Structure 1
Amino acid sequence: MKKSLLMGMALVSFLSFTACNKKQAASSDSAQKVVRINFQTGTLCAAPVHVAMKMGLFEEELAAIGQKAEYVQVVEGGATLAEMIASGKVDAGYGLYATQMQAIENGLPIAYTSGIHVGCTKYYVRSDSDIYSAKDLRGKKIGVPGLADSSVMNLKRKLMDEGIGVTAENNEVEFLAYASADLAIALNNGAVDVIGAHDPVATKGERAYNFRKILDTGIDEKFVNEYCCQQFVTHKLLRENPEGAAAVTRALQKASAFVEAEPRLAAQLQIENNLVAGDLDFNAELLEELNFIPSRSLGKKTFDKAARQLQEAGILKKTTDIEKYIAQSYIELFGVPDGYSYDKATKTYREINGERKDFTSL
């Protein structure tokens, strides 16, 4: 009896220990379910990220599946977003998709999941210039924020349409990189003939120097239904936590819909939280000018068209399997609608489903 009693006590102790360990393991697993989301300050069109952070949309979507959000800032002069992704410090984020297309081809482990907003890139000449459109850019010097920047990728695609060479074998324009703050000065001083810039730098330069706009991706026929900024997730997050990838995508889609409906409130939130400096009226005006209607289907169409044309231009390698590249670089996540709209009267979100060809169907 004593032996049986001891064995029984040992069994109870073992089962208790096992149950405790399972609880600890579950608790540990739960603690590991943290999605690290990149953000940066000073960027007006990053309003959806700022809104999702400060209004709790990331936390709300992740909490619903028992997960948490952490925020990782990209600091100017520090590690780039691509470097932070490659080193495993970021799981998800948002930015100019075209800027990362070559990096993805070279192994940057991310995939895009939704288009977030259209526009924000503009091209200017001095008021006394004889340049009036992209057709007039053959032989010109063009100042840009970086040689892999989306302003370069978009303009090369536009120039190809106009029959102007942008390939290594036939290059009829020259791109020169400047710090964003120096672009307007470079144009005003005649160091370049044209500049490509993103808002708010673009519009500030226009107003300060009376520049003339020759191309605006927010209204140009080629780009008006194409997204400049899109949501991405890392391959690691897709493999290990697809539910978290879906949650942050839904949150950013909702935040984007909010900015579309409430641009002034979004601008105010950015200023009050020291995320973007500037005048409220000016910032709100620019946000209202941009199209923040999110769409996964149009986001993918944007990526598809750009990838094919950039391969034709030689920016993406001729040897790249473009079908595989597109399929791996743009993912449709389970549980993510095509987009959302926001009703400011009722303060509610509505899912938008079904593939979109353009924004006229809304």
Structure 2
Amino acid sequence: MNFKHLIKTTLISALLFGASAFAEIKTVRIAHYTGVLCSAPVHTAWLKGFFDEEFKKIGQKYEMVPIAEGSGSVNDLIVAGKADAGNELLATELQPIQNGLPIIFVTGVHTGCTKFYVTKQSTIKKLKDLKGRKSKIGVIGLSDSSIMTFKRKLRDLGVVADGPEADVEFVVYGASDLPLALQKGAVDIIALHDPTATTAEEEYGFRKLLDTATDPKFAVEYCCIAFVSLKLWKENPEGAAAFTRAVARGSAFVNANPREAARLQLAKDIVPGSEDFNTKLLESYTHIPSRKATIRTFRTVATELQKTGVLKKKLNIEKFITSHFANFASKGIHVPDGYKYDKDTGTFTETTEEPKTLAKNIVEN
């Protein structure tokens, strides 16, 4: 091939395939928490090769971006332009989104991993006992999802959570300090996320006041959700779809085989704990991915947080959902509602309908 022919071939390629003929292969940066059991669907999608498969199908690559527990957040990386996708507690994200956080939800990954405790000696037996008590609630941060969850529950019970007449006061401690604060009486209740929550329960013998995995209000909705940056959604929706399908498959895998998921995380030294302990926790949540159930959860949580004052009164909830939930069909991209995994055959089946329920075990508080 002479030089003139080479130039001619190159120009023809450019005309046929456009600038993409010279473009670099796109890479989607996936942020994931280390030390956090809740990221099991993302970790499983990575370690079982689901990300490999989905990104290979579309001719793209991905990169895992670790976040050590307590060292930052997916939101920080999204804003800094250092990550394109990740997962978080849904209730934590809504106020930041309202204030301009550039993300869009793609699918729910699992139900409740947040728990609230009192000491065994506490006179607080039920949540309704908080009315008129001026109780102190220990939390890891004033923007943490535990506060949003508690405010929603207290509102149902007629307990005032805000303002000068509030029946409760939220006090911030480090996650590792909360159990001792409760034990010493500095606070009346603590809110923790697993695995720290269950570890503290077993070590100190705390009594569970509210468990979002079994409470009738919260067991039917997602607590953790996967999302992508608005930039990725606008510029690379195929990459966003590949991430979504892989994470949904990861979630379905965990639901069918929690022990193997626990083994994978431990083998990679991503989370602490033991196989039995971590398996028990993963089994206690429902890992059934469903985009329809995600929209339902989004609507319920946003509507109730608006009523508590966390979200602005003037916010149009339906427009809020439309703007911040990925509609892949509008871009001609196939993403199923969810998946089921058969561990005997090692195969996935796409699902099209919302599951009848996300709850595994309802316990009245």
Q: TM-score, normalised by structure 2?
A: 0.91
1:44 to 37, 44, 52: 37
2:281 to 256, 270, 286: 286
Task: Name the structure 1 match of 2:318.
Answer: 323
CA displacement, residues 67-98 of structure 1 (integer Å, 9 cap, x when unaligned): 11111122345443212111111111111111
User: How much is the aligned-residue C-alpha RMSD, in angstroms?
Assistant: 2.1
Long gaps (5+) in structure 2: 361-365
**Deviation of the 1:21 alpha carbon:** 5.9
Whether the 8 Å CA contact 1:30–1:67 is kept in 2: the answer is no
1:72 aligns with 2:61: no
Point out the structure with max Rg over C-alpha.
1
**Deviation of the 1:360 alpha carbon:** 7.8
Whether the 8 Å CA contact 2:221–2:358 is kept in 1: the answer is no
Task: Name the structure 1 match of 2:343.
Answer: 344
Task: Name the structure 1 match of 2:290.
Answer: 295
1:104 aligns with 2:103: no
**Deviation of the 1:221 alpha carbon:** 0.6
2:47 to 47, 54, 58: 54
Percent of pairs identical after alignment? 48
Q: Which amino acid aligns with 1:87?
A: A
Whether the 8 Å CA contact 2:117–2:208 is kept in 1: the answer is yes
1:92 aligns with 2:85: yes
Distance in 2, matches of 1:311 and 1:244, equals: 32
CA displacement, residues 136-195 of structure 1 (integer Å, 9 cap, x when unaligned): 223211111211111110110000000111234653211111111111111111111001
**Deviation of the 1:285 alpha carbon:** 1.1
1:26 aligns with 2:20: yes
Whether the 8 Å CA contact 1:225–1:358 is kept in 2: the answer is yes
1:247 aligns with 2:242: yes
**Deviation of the 1:278 alpha carbon:** 1.3
1:221 to 198, 216, 223: 216
Task: Name the structure 2 match of 1:3.
Answer: none
Whether the 8 Å CA contact 2:116–2:189 is kept in 1: the answer is yes
Whether the 8 Å CA contact 1:30–1:66 is kept in 2: the answer is no
1:262 aligns with 2:257: yes
1:142 aligns with 2:137: yes
Q: Which amino acid aligns with 1:285?
A: K
Judging changes above 3 Å, is the alpha-carbon distance between structure 1 residues 240 and 11 closer, same or farther for their aligned structure 2 residues?
A: same
Long gaps (5+) in structure 1: 1-8
Whether the 8 Å CA contact 2:35–2:68 is kept in 1: the answer is no
Distance in 1, matches of 2:340 and 2:198, equals: 27
**Deviation of the 1:356 alpha carbon:** 4.1
Judging changes above 3 Å, is the alpha-carbon distance between structure 1 residues 175 and 327 closer, same or farther for their aligned structure 2 residues?
A: same
Judging changes above 3 Å, is the alpha-carbon distance between structure 1 residues 47 and 240 closer, same or farther for their aligned structure 2 residues?
A: same
Q: Which amino acid aligns with 1:48?
A: P
**Deviation of the 1:332 alpha carbon:** 3.1
Aligned length: 352
Q: TM-score, normalised by structure 1?
A: 0.92
Distance in 1, matches of 2:6 and 2:341, equals: 55
Whether the 8 Å CA contact 2:36–2:69 is kept in 1: the answer is no
Whether the 8 Å CA contact 1:225–1:298 is kept in 2: the answer is no
- Give the match's secondary structure for 1:181: coil
